[in-house]
Amino acid sequence: MRLGFIVERLLQLIPVLIGISLVVFLMMTLTPGDPVEIMLGDQLATAEQKESLRRDMGLDLPAAERFIRFVRNSLSGDFGRSFFHRRPVAEVIAERLPATIELTIVAMLIALAVAIPLGVLAAVRRGSLIDKAATVISLIGVSMPGFWLGIMLILLFAVHLGWMPVSGRIDYAFEVPRITGMILFDSLVQGRYAAFLNALHHILMPAVTLGLAMAALLMRVTRTSMIEVLQQDYIVFAEAKGLSRARVLVRHALKNALIPTVTVAALETGYLLGGNTIVEMVFGWPGLARVIVEGIYSRDFPLVQAGVLVIAVIYVTVNFAADVLYTLLNPRVKL
Amino acid sequence: MAMTTGADESTAAGLRELLKTARLLLLVCGIAIVAGVATGAEVRVGFTQDALTLDPANHRKRETETIIRNIYDGIMTQTSKSEVVPELAESVRQIDSLTYEATLRKGVKFHSGDEMTAEDVKFTFDRLTREKAMGGQTSPRQGLLGPLASTEAVDRYTVRFKLKEPWPVFPRMLPVQEIVSKKFVEKVGSDALATQANGTGPFKLVEWRRGDSIIMERFADYYGGAPAIPPTGAARVDRVIFKIIPENASRMAALMAGEVDIVNEVPVFAINTLERSGKAKVVKANGTRTFFIALNVTRPPFSDVRVRQAANHAVDKKLVIDRLLGNTATPVAGVLSPESFGSKPGLKEYAYDPNRAKKLLAEAGYAKGIDVTLDAEGAFKDQAEAIAAMLTKVGIRTKVQVWEGAVLTPIWRAEKKERDMYFNSWGSGALDPTGIFVPTLKTRDRGNTSGYSNAKVDKLLTAADTELDRNKRADMYHQAEKIVAEEAPWIFLWVPQDIYAVSNRLRGWAPGSDSRINLHRAYLAK
């Protein structure tokens, strides 16, 4: 991989992020609804008190100046103060982001763990009962709304069977000193295995809910691309060489068939980060998506701007990582 | 196709490698299910929203107040019947029309062990009312203390509050201001109060897991709480946890699964399921929010009082309450909740009478009917639709338009009213008319969405605001409400109840109209 490529991609990030900031800023500024009025609600406040709150929030400045300040301060990691949480936005995001990333990673792992074997199996036994069953299951997976699936899982596994917790990240009895804020990771590296298992127990239902729809999609992609690859000459050649079936499938076919899967998985990270909102609501998962949605309703401009910006950075980074992964999967891909 | 036939064994071998990860995951899940956790004597609340901050002076949110109120106490508090009674004060008396004096209890300790004194109370109220008193910010709760001009510590246990003008509601506002420790705030800094707490309440903060839960433990040196709300003494459980579960169905599920003992905001559709489960009881408290449909009186057709009266006769409130609200609301004939100070029993109610409605409409010159729009927020769409259908039946052909609250509110609070009807509500936690009657019906006041203006009503409301004789004051509100009922700037609707559900083992807690969940006296049956 060329160093130039990395630099080029990083440079491309700058206009993308400024563009995103501008769009979010404009959307929030142009949407009717005054944060001061929302905050004070029905209650008594004089015009001077409202004005003072407006000054505190920086809303007395012209929109253009607010935007320039936001961009300038963001560069130094200062996203301003949240109107409603009444403390630095960076603090609110730092608290919530690890939960969202953790859920996204686990959901993605579940999706891949389900999708790749099923996709390969369906491709290899194309037209068989397994293939048809996988098609039907993936159709159901794609069409099932996340909130419905989540609630059904809660009713079955938490209320009726009592196996799983309804909400939260870990039981109160466990304390995991923060390293990254991702409890699974933190507990594992500190050797707190009971806490790790408890956190895993909590994350399963939300991650399955989030991962299942993606698993269905990824399975379809893997299946299609696997079928295509299996018909290539080099597979026939590999088999003719006398390589074992397993080696042909995994080393030769799957490795190449995974490129579209990786692309879709990377693109879908955006869906997962956004789709988190519903899952975070249903399972009381204390993530960033939920706090951004609450911020939208309360017109918490600094929080929404910074939150969306952070998600955008993650999205762009993941897609960059996917590009790098192509080169590993297929050395012929040159970046 | 040749590649996929006759190769089953080797295919399976290939897949085995791939399935390893999945199998490992399943194994780990199995172990995780067994890893349960024992709980001590603790009450858990499944609550809709996380606290925005733990600083009692830096928010305007009821949910935040509900959580904080278990850590911090106020000079006064409120019983479940909405009476204001002393808490940290032994008494609060009025010295003259502009001065109140609070005598504090002796020996009340903050969680840090320091004694609470008049200096702390003065510091708390200065922080609430003075400009930029919170590390450069002004408290958003400043407005809740109206004309409070200054707070003085007369001696170690006496505090004097000076008002700029007479304000009879002042004692009613004291239960929503919690006392902070001067020494503690000066030590940790004003901003730190957002996440650290040192109150005088029955529970100490253990940990705030943002967005997930707030964990508190019993404060052994608690002075006991308000004597008027027995039993007094330290909290009865070791630990209290507010678990944040915003989604209704999940919150109800957590109660059914035994994960929590109290849930707030039970949706009407869940009441039967919860009650039939045998695992929980539904408990209700009368709310403090009056629902109404504001009619734009500043332009036709609702500028004609007969059309407004016709609209009131057209709506069968009892049917809506029965079918859509599960009988969890009390119909009102006027502005005030039946529990509010100044509400008058026997205020004449508009009977459901579609024929009378049609007649009034015809008299107003609209025999062929009128076309109007009813604005509503998404959450109230079904109620608005039901009312629109009833209005349409008598000739007030109503179309419902659904909006987001943050967009709709400013449209209707603007001085110039350009729309027809607004499904609206207004709450007053203090249950005093000054918090609801004045803002919604005094000429050009902040919540006067119908654009109503009546000089006599204005005069009565202004006079009542500063009248110190309770009977005279109540009478002024009676007169004003009678005029408003006759002139019908609203379709008068109902006051919904707040609905909670509790586990069968919970004892010692009942909901109040202030929507607080004070857990000082709560415990679990063995």
Residue B489 has pLDDT above 90, yes or no: yes
Shortest Cα–Cα distance, B289 to chain A (Å)? 11
Digit-coded pLDDT (tens) for B328-355: 999 999 999 988 888 888 899 999 999 9
Average pLDDT of the residues in A11-15: 83
Lowest mean pLDDT among B100-109, B259-268, B435-444, B510-519: B510-519
Q: Are the beta carbons of B249 and A121 separated by less than 8 Å?
A: no
Digit-coded pLDDT (tens) for A198-244: 999 999 999 999 898 888 889 989 998 888 888 888 877 877 777 77
Shortest Cα–Cα distance, A142 to chain B (Å)? 20
More confidently predicted of B183 and B512? B183
Residue A54 has pLDDT above 60, yes or no: yes
Residue B199 has pLDDT above 50, yes or no: yes
Residue B23 has pLDDT above 70, yes or no: no
- What is the per-residue pLDDT for A182? 93
- What is the per-residue pLDDT for B16? 45
User: By the CB < 8 Å criterion, does A242 face chain B?
Assistant: no
Task: Give the nearest partner residue to B250 out of A31, A250, A282, using CB atoms.
Answer: A282
pTM of the model as a whole = 0.82
- What is the per-residue pLDDT for A44? 63
User: By the CB < 8 Å criterion, does B220 face chain A?
Assistant: no
**Cα angle for residues A209, A215, A217 (degrees, 5° grid):** 120
Task: Please classify residue B95 by burial: count the beta carbons closer than 10 Å to its beta carbon, then call 0-12 exposed, 13-18 middle and 19+ buried.
Answer: exposed
- What is the per-residue pLDDT for A200? 95
Contacts of B253 in chain A (CB under 8 A): 151, 154-155, 158-159, 166
Residue B175 has pLDDT above 50, yes or no: yes
Residue B448 has pLDDT above 60, yes or no: yes
Q: Are the beta carbons of B257 and A159 separated by less than 8 Å?
A: yes
- What is the per-residue pLDDT for A254? 81
User: By the CB < 8 Å criterion, does B277 face chain A?
Assistant: no
- What is the per-residue pLDDT for B27? 42
**DSSP letter for each residue of A57-95:** HTTTS-HHHHHHHHHHHHHTT---B-TTT-SBHHHHHHH
The chain-wide mean pLDDT, for chain B, equals 89
Whether the upstream peptide bond of residue A260 has omega within 30° of 0, thus cis, is: no
Digit-coded pLDDT (tens) for B49-71: 999 899 999 988 889 999 999 99
Query: In what helix (H) or strand (E) does residue B79 lie, and over which residues does it extend?
Result: none
Average pLDDT of the residues in B308-327: 95
Lowest mean pLDDT among A315-319, B126-130, B319-323: A315-319
Residue B31 has pLDDT above 70, yes or no: no
Query: In what helix (H) or strand (E) does residue B145 lie, and over which residues does it extend?
Result: none
Structure tokens at A204: 């399963």
Share of chain A above pLDDT 90, in %: 24
Digit-coded pLDDT (tens) for B211-263: 899 999 999 999 999 999 888 899 999 999 999 999 899 999 999 999 999 99
Rounded Cα gap, residues B501 and B328, in angstroms:
14
In whole angstroms, how far apart are CA B209 and each of B2, B52, B96, B105, B216?
Answer: 58, 12, 46, 33, 11
Residue A127 has pLDDT above 90, yes or no: no
User: By the CB < 8 Å criterion, does B41 face chain A?
Assistant: no
Q: Are the beta carbons of A45 and B142 separated by less than 8 Å?
A: yes
Window 484-513 of B, Cβ < 8 Å to A = none
Q: Are the beta carbons of B60 and A43 separated by less than 8 Å?
A: yes
Contacts of B439 in chain A (CB under 8 A): 42, 44
Model confidence band, residue A73 (pLDDT cutoffs 50, 70, 90): confident
Window 142-161 of A, Cβ < 8 Å to B = 147, 150-151, 154-155, 158-159
Q: What ipTM is given for this predicted complex?
A: 0.79
User: By the CB < 8 Å criterion, does B135 face chain A?
Assistant: no
Average pLDDT of the residues in B174-203: 95
User: Reduced to 3 states, what is the DSSP secondary structure of residue B221?
Assistant: coil
Phi first, then psi, for residue B216 (nearest 5°) are -130, 155
Residue B106 has pLDDT above 90, yes or no: yes
Lowest mean pLDDT among A321-330, B230-239, B429-438: A321-330
Share of chain B above pLDDT 90, in %: 69
